[in-house]
Amino acid sequence: MNNRYVVPQKRLGVQELEVKPLLTTTNGKKLKLSAMVDSGCTHTCIDEELVKKKKIPTKKLERPITCRNSDGTIAGKKDITKFVKMDLNINGHNEQLDAVVTPLQSSDLFLGHDWLTNHNPEIDWKQGIIKFNRCPTSCSFPHTDISFEPRIRRLQSNEDNEEKEPDPTNPEDLPAYMKPFAHLFNKKNFDKLPERTEWDHEINFTENAPTEISSKVYSMTPLEREELDKFLDENLATNRIRPSKSPYAAPCFFVPKKDGSLRLCQDYRKLNDITIKDKTPLPLISEVLDQLKDAKVFNKLDIIWGYNNVRIREGDEWKAAFLTNRGLFEPTVMFFGMSNSPATFSRMMATIFREMIQDGSLANYMDDFIIPAKDDEELEARTIRFLKIAEKHNLSFKRTKCEFNVSSTTVLGTVIGNGKATMEEEKVKAIRDWAVPTTVKQVESFLGFANFYRRFIKNFSTIAQPLNELKSKKGEKWYWNDEQQQAFEQIKQAIASEPVLALPKDKGQFRVEVDASNYGTGAVLSQEQENKWHPVAFMSKTLSEAERNYEIYDKELLAIIKALKLWRHYLLDAKEQFEIWTDHENLKYFREPQKLNARQARWYLMLQEYDFLLRHIPGKTNTKADILSRLIKPDTSNDNRGVEMFKEKMFIRRLEESTPIYDVTLLHNRRFEILADEAVLEKIRKCERRETRVLEEMKKQPEKVWENKGIIYRQGRIYVPDNQEIRDFILHDHHNSPDAGHPGTYRMLESVKRTFWWPTIKTDIRRYVRGCDMCQKNKTIRRPDHIPLNPLPIPDKPWEEISIDMIGPLPKSKEKDAIIVIVDRFSKMIHLVPTTTSLSSMDLAEIYKEEVWRHHGIPKRIISDRGPQFASKFMESLCKALGIERNLSTAYHPQTDGQTERMNQEIETYLRAFINYRQDDWTRWLPMAEFHYNDKTHAATGQTPFFLNYGLHPWKGNITVDTTNPTTTSLIEELENVRKEAKAAMKANNELMRERGNNKHHKEPFAEGDKVWLETTNIHSNRPTRKLDHKRYGPFEILKQIGDRSYKLKLPDTWAIHDVFHTSLLTKVRDPEFDSQKKPTPPPPDIINEEEEYEVEEIRGHRRKGRGIQFLVHWKGYGNEDDSWIPRSSLENAEEALSEYKAKLPNGKL
């Protein structure tokens, strides 16, 4: 039995309340029921006699449910096997729910703990009144609770003990004839190392396989290191792994499971690339099902850790070695992730159980075993025979996944029982659960879906006529009669059965059509049979509250992942490469190497198992999957509201010692950036377009240009061949990412050249920076009159002199509204600290002590435009904070050198590029802004602040370049030399600044038709502060010149300002020259009711206008300058965007 319980018996101490709901069943009957609210009943139940008497349609549970009393004893003579789907109305509150069918005595319906949890109603026990004031007037109950919930807490009558799962190894939990084999269901039995056999896993290499495979040790959090130690210790103890000296090393890392625990993964991609593929096929699904169709009773068993039951062939273990922070280890058993593992495991099972499979006593597919029989006696004999073989080969089973003595079971997506094979309910659940339409638009959507399969449905036009009548009477009063209900049910039944829905066959290509909406995912699995594409299964799943927060590209990928998981048994070993049809546009994000988060990492590993091609299908033509993704619209009004981000116990008391906290997500992101970079290296290896100049250099100067493992290096840097796609990706990664931060030409060139080189690198970077629209909109244009002509004296070493300033006030972000900027005048290193505008000198001293002093000590000189009293008071407070008895004297410079002002501008420019429209997440980006600046070469020093401070560049998870001539100079000597050079460079830069100050600035002339940026000076913005808003809007087209120095621009219709501007407010637009910089064309408007409607991407604000309310709308595919104020009446098709906006407001109210 399983771990779910239904407790329909009356118990002492359980509050009960009688209600009288109105029920509508799936066949359209309306019934008045007596119902009881029972918090001790785990599931909502309906009386079995009532169901039989009223002929209410039932559905079969995926697994039977054991009915138990509150003390855990079994109640009733049989398990619950059926449930009813119904529409329920209680005092005007409508809902859809499922109720299990079981004998009840006192009422027709028990509304159980699951129902109470879902609605959380307000109950007046004295008056017997229920109020639904915590949920909408109409809501759907999660149908998955009955079939898939793994555990439901059992409510105790007298004790408050937490539920304990039954011991899966307890003989009492097994059929009597299986009790002698109880040890096979004990995990300890699995701890034995399997013997060597004829089917040991072989790892055979292709020709020209490399002599070594290297990788890096990934950083791990303390929790991950603890889990790694546990994994290594356990597997070393059982000899499943051993220390290794292999020249091969696969990286390993942890991926979180759904339950929050961690799973160690080895990245065997490089190993798999050079492994000869084993073509041993998996068992044919049709043959497996044929073996079972005539049976009356079944046992189903699942092997625990299937792959680990197979030894790696002696002498091949070193090939699968993996690297950890504790050294190199090699597995002695087969691990997940190795190619050919499925083939080896399938061959092993087929060999061990050959006789039983051949005589029809056993069916096997991978780690699932089904024992069929005509009666209980035969089942017992076959099962004992099977367990004896398993015992001989030390195989263990996972009790929670086993089924014993059942009359039907689900195998490979097909329900086997009663002498026949039928479709699994999950395959057609999306169709059978299709809610009765309540509007003409919903009827149109249903018929639009059904039209794809009309050629398979006899007399489709006649059947659908009552529904088509509703379409033709659009605008008239809505009605839905028995005639429409019958047509609706008949079409649903036709789609969900043959000849429309086909059982899958061994031959024939599969196609997966997927789509994601803001609140659901939909998919159709089809197979080509007899030159026609038949649907095999349908999927429609509602997104959870967390999933609804995903980015659109994650939602689209999630739809693919859900479909692959649901139909894994068909697609994993498909005979032909299958296709996934989806709207590519939303997946473009993943076409470039990304810093994957933990969730995306799990998906990435899963996708490697399948052989498929992605086919682009425009969103508007992906109708079937699109409709399925929108079938069930959940209530989103409470999404992300009332979330307690940090529990009280998570806060450390002020006097307690704090411990380091590691950002697991960040570590996973960085870890997968390495995988992405390796993908770039692979592209470079495969690219044959090498420039003649480079090849000649390699011949003439091998000490300067050399080749290693398919990569050409020039002076230690990776040569990037003449391939625009590869070069474009590298430029995009070094400019647009948050840790790159949109640098200028000089800094970007230095950053790229640390790792890469190609002949036109400088020109390409200059073109890329010049064409970046984000830089053109946000960066401060430096004029000669901004440059100080008398720079301050240069310090002798880092952190001897600092400058301090504040940026603020800013919109509140995590209760902070300002940034303290602390700059070392020598190395140009900065520290950025979020704070408040009300901080005192003592507060500043505390900040300096925590953020700067512990790293760099006390400065000799402070530069600030806040006056000598500020500097003096700050130093006094700092000495006090540090416990220094004697006040240190410090010199104060009343003149600033422009350094901090420019620094503030750079920080603001960086934040403009990444913060949200409300400007309230800037604290999130501050660490990356600091890292970005400290890792970029400064024009004055010729070095990065990191390098001038520490003598090395920070490792960012990027490719390590090949260096063949390591320097013999010590780090200290080299750092001293670099600092001397930096000081000389700063002196030269000061002279250059003086010369530039005398140059005149000439502005480029404009012509009619030119595109220009418009300075935001004197233009009202809807964003909270100008400081973090774009410096320029646009681009706008010049219509004509007005006078000598003014131009008329083509402005958006919504801008109620004069359209003529002086040339000083205009800057010419530089068009992007690289594909990654080019913006997609804005989408065309939808045609709704014969009128154009543009898609709303986001609502950003609201205001009172007269007696009504207007909303500030941001249109999908358009820039901020096209945002416009729209009345509520014009947003009738944007309810979702309105709900999302209201959810962000205090109390969710306008």
Residue 281 clears pLDDT 60, i.e. is over it: yes
Highest mean pLDDT among 631-645, 743-757, 819-833: 819-833
Residue 386 clears pLDDT 90, i.e. is over it: yes
Which CATH superfamily groups domain 5-148?
Acid Proteases (2.40.70.10)
Q: Alpha-carbon distance 286 to 810, whole Å? A: 66
Q: What is the pLDDT of residue 982?
A: 59
Higher pLDDT, 599 or 698: 698
Q: What is the pLDDT of residue 71?
A: 55
Residue of 165, 147, 152, 5 whose CA lies nearest to 70: 5
Average the pLDDT over 1032-1054 and give the result.
Answer: 80
Residue of 56, 25, 23, 28 whose CA lies nearest to 481: 28
Average the pLDDT over 676-683 and give the result.
Answer: 67
Residue with the two structure tokens 């799943």:
541
Per-residue pLDDT band at 4 (split at 50, 70, 90): very low
Query: Which of 79-93, 254-268, 621-635, 1116-1130 is least confident?
Result: 621-635
Residues whose CB falls within 8 Å of the CB of residue 1063, separated by 6 or more in sequence, listed in order? 1003, 1006, 1045, 1046, 1047
- Per-residue tokens: 639: 């999404």
Higher pLDDT, 548 or 1094: 548
Q: What is the pLDDT of residue 1007?
A: 82
Highest mean pLDDT among 136-145, 659-668, 940-949, 1070-1079: 940-949
Q: What is the pLDDT of residue 742?
A: 77
> How many other CB atoms are found less than 10 A from the CB of residue 528?
15
Q: What is the pLDDT of residue 664?
A: 28
Average the pLDDT over 621-646 and give the result.
Answer: 52
The pair phi, psi for residue 920, each rounded to 5°, is -110, 15
Per-residue pLDDT band at 456 (split at 50, 70, 90): low
Burial class of 1079 by CB neighbour count within 10 A (0 to 12, 13 to 18, 19+): exposed
Per-residue pLDDT band at 425 (split at 50, 70, 90): low
Highest mean pLDDT among 2-6, 257-261, 447-451, 512-516: 512-516
- Following DSSP, what letter does each residue of 271-312 receive, concatenated? HHHTBPPP-PPPPPHHHHHHHHTT-SEEEEEEBTTGGGGSBB
Residue 1093 clears pLDDT 80, i.e. is over it: no
Taken in order 517, 520, 521, 522, the sign of the CA dihedral is negative
CATH number of 784-973: 3.30.420.10
The share of the chain scoring above pLDDT 70, in percent, equals 67
Average the pLDDT over 569-588 and give the result.
Answer: 75
Residue with the two structure tokens 């003149």:
895
Q: What are the CA-CA distances from residue 774 to residues 777, 1029, 1072 (Å)?
A: 5, 12, 11
594 backbone φψ class: left, alpha, beta (φ>0; ψ -120 to 50): beta
Q: What is the pLDDT of residue 330?
A: 95
Residue of 443, 586, 415 whose CA lies nearest to 503: 415
Average the pLDDT over 949-972 and give the result.
Answer: 55
Instruction: List, in sequence order, the alpha helices (H) in 417-472.
Output: 425-432, 440-450, 460-472
* DSSP reduced 3-state for 832: strand
Q: Alpha-carbon distance 381 to 376, whole Å? A: 9
430-499 adopts what CATH topology? Alpha-Beta Plaits (3.30.70)
Average the pLDDT over 102-109 and give the result.
Answer: 82
Residue 16 clears pLDDT 70, i.e. is over it: no
Residue 985 clears pLDDT 80, i.e. is over it: no
The share of the chain scoring above pLDDT 90, in percent, equals 6
Q: What is the pLDDT of residue 21?
A: 65
Average the pLDDT over 539-558 and give the result.
Answer: 79
Determine which helix (DSSP H) or strand (DSSP E) holds 355, and give its type and residue range.
helix 354-358
- pLDDT for 33-42, tens place per residue? 888 887 778 8
Higher pLDDT, 322 or 933: 322
Residue 1078 clears pLDDT 90, i.e. is over it: no
Residue 541 clears pLDDT 70, i.e. is over it: yes
Q: Label the pairing between strands 1060-1062 and 1086-1088.
A: unpaired
Q: Is the backbone peptide bond immediately before 809 cis, with ω within 30 degrees of 0?
A: yes
Residues whose CB falls within 8 Å of the CB of residue 1098, separated by 6 or more in sequence, listed in order? 917, 1113, 1114, 1137, 1140, 1141
Query: Which of 496-510, 547-561, 839-853 is least confident?
Result: 496-510
Per-residue pLDDT band at 377 (split at 50, 70, 90): very high
Q: Alpha-carbon distance 515 to 449, whole Å? A: 14
Average the pLDDT over 619-645 and give the result.
Answer: 53
Q: Alpha-carbon distance 588 to 352, whole Å? A: 46
Q: What is the pLDDT of residue 205?
A: 92
Higher pLDDT, 838 or 362: 362
Residue 243 clears pLDDT 90, i.e. is over it: yes
Highest mean pLDDT among 222-226, 241-245, 994-998: 241-245
Residue 379 clears pLDDT 90, i.e. is over it: yes
- Per-residue tokens: 54: 């009223």
Query: Which of 412-416, 427-431, 796-800, 844-848 is least confident?
Result: 427-431
Query: Which of 880-884, 1032-1036, 1086-1090 is least confident?
Result: 1086-1090
Asked whether 637 and 1148 are in contact (CB, 8 A), the reply is yes
1086-1148 adopts what CATH topology? OB fold (Dihydrolipoamide Acetyltransferase, E2P) (2.40.50)
Q: What is the pLDDT of residue 1076?
A: 62
CATH number of 687-778: 1.10.340.70
Per-residue pLDDT band at 780 (split at 50, 70, 90): low
Q: What is the pLDDT of residue 998?
A: 47
Q: Whole-number mean pLDDT of the chain?
A: 73
Highest mean pLDDT among 297-306, 308-317, 1089-1098: 308-317
Residues whose CB falls within 8 Å of the CB of residue 530, separated by 6 or more in sequence, listed in order? none
- pLDDT for 710-737, tens place per residue? 888 888 788 888 888 888 888 888 887 7
Asked whether 647 and 569 are in contact (CB, 8 A), the reply is no
Domain boundaries of the chain, sorted by first residue: 5-148, 173-421, 430-499, 502-643, 687-778, 784-973, 1011-1077, 1086-1148
Residue of 178, 142, 626 whose CA lies nearest to 399: 178
Q: Alpha-carbon distance 510 to 467, whole Å? A: 32
173-421 adopts what CATH topology? HIV Type 1 Reverse Transcriptase; Chain A, domain 1 (3.10.10)
Residue 652 clears pLDDT 60, i.e. is over it: no
Q: The CATH number of 502-643 is which of 3.90.78.10, 1.10.10.10, 3.30.420.10, 3.30.450.20?
A: 3.30.420.10
Q: What is the pLDDT of residue 501?
A: 65
Asked whether 100 and 143 are in contact (CB, 8 A), the reply is no
Average the pLDDT over 477-497 and give the result.
Answer: 80
- Following DSSP, what letter does each residue of 873-917 receive, concatenated? HHHHHHHHHHT-SSPPP-EEESS--SHHHHHHHHHHHHHHHHS-T
Q: At what angle do helices 598-607 and 552-566 cross, to 10 degrees?
A: 40
Asked whether 467 and 450 are in contact (CB, 8 A), the reply is no
Residue 320 clears pLDDT 80, i.e. is over it: yes
Residue 1084 clears pLDDT 60, i.e. is over it: no
Q: What is the pLDDT of residue 889?
A: 40
Per-residue pLDDT band at 650 (split at 50, 70, 90): very low
Residue of 659, 903, 716 whose CA lies nearest to 804: 903
Q: What is the pLDDT of residue 419?
A: 64
Residue 589 clears pLDDT 80, i.e. is over it: no
Residue 246 clears pLDDT 90, i.e. is over it: yes
Q: Do domains 5-148 and 784-973 have the same CATH topology?
A: no
Per-residue pLDDT band at 249 (split at 50, 70, 90): very high
Residue 193 clears pLDDT 60, i.e. is over it: yes
